[in-house]
Structure 1
Amino acid sequence: MTVKRPANPLALALLGLLLEQPMHPHAMAAALRERQLDLTFKLTTGSLYDTVRALARDGWTEATDTEQVGGRPARTVYRLTPQGRRSFAAWLDELIREPAQEYPKFLSALGYLGALGPERAAQALRERAAALQDRIDRGDLAYRAARQEHGAPRLFVIEAEYAGAMLRAEQQWVLSAAEEIERGTLAWPEASADA
């Protein structure tokens, strides 16, 4: 039997959380935000609940219990099914082994950098580098909190290490390109020099 793969990549994060322990959707959202995975996965209340329902409908997860705190509505707790655990592992194996063609907007925009003109392009790149530094700082803070304050094993936050490395590499490249533009060592077409 072929298991239907979740359409929303948020399912990866939810399944990963359920691999650690059963939880209700509200706790899932809180954990994703705490680990700053809401920067990696588009997280809205609607997408979260739709994905939770889809995972249960397709047999990846199942409701196990309800929790009620005070006068709040009862919350359904979910866990991975044995089939969900196997399917999740197979999906992860494929995603890690096989590089997928992705279509980042920044890469697309770089193809037309010349349209900005040198001064504006350098300014835009430097502004991006500053924004990347902010993300790096927030990610480092969250990583340290997860490791030191919450005692998360490195393996549970290894994606944060990778994300930080990618942000640092991008920032280094962006700053290098801005410096080349400012030094005049990156050739600029005459037609776009005054944009």
Structure 2
Amino acid sequence: MRIADITKNAVDRFPVLLTKPEEVQAFLMQALTAYQDLAGCTRKQRVLAGDVQDGGLYVMPESCLALSSAVDALGDFVICDMSDDDEGNIILYINEPKAVYPLAVEYFVNLAYYADKPDLHVPNRIAGMIINYLECLIAMDNDDRVARVESAGKMDTSRTPTRLDRMAQKTALEEQFKANREIISLVSVHPR
């Protein structure tokens, strides 16, 4: 699901939205970062022999946060290192000359990278949880403002959820994130 759709879906859940767009953007960054920290998100990249430069160098996607594992076409673990080059690219150094291509490289995604890129996609398996968390963050801010307006107008504020209600909801969503942690691929090293 696209980041723009995640934001729109969360915002559309409010009949009256008093939260400013730049605040919604900050909440989106907070939601993506919370999911990244509590559950993590991995992606797999297929690396062909022709994609690897001299010296075993391969440029990873900009959204790469950390390497999880790399295995070759035979399922053998491939020794790799990662670092940044002078231009800010994330470089994977493939240190296994006997690797059989294509490689399956699994990496952790930097979800915070997506926050200001509305056309990028996050995996559908996590989009719903991020939408719910984003809605909760927006609601905390929005409910406070609605309660102030209702209180100033001498209206009944009992139907507006309190900050404690929303904090409990946020904690429950964070527990849901933890229950959905990415499972890191187990690898075993076999002598060749």
TM over 0.5: no
Higher helix share: 1
Q: TM-score, normalised to structure 2's length?
A: 0.27
Higher strand share: 2
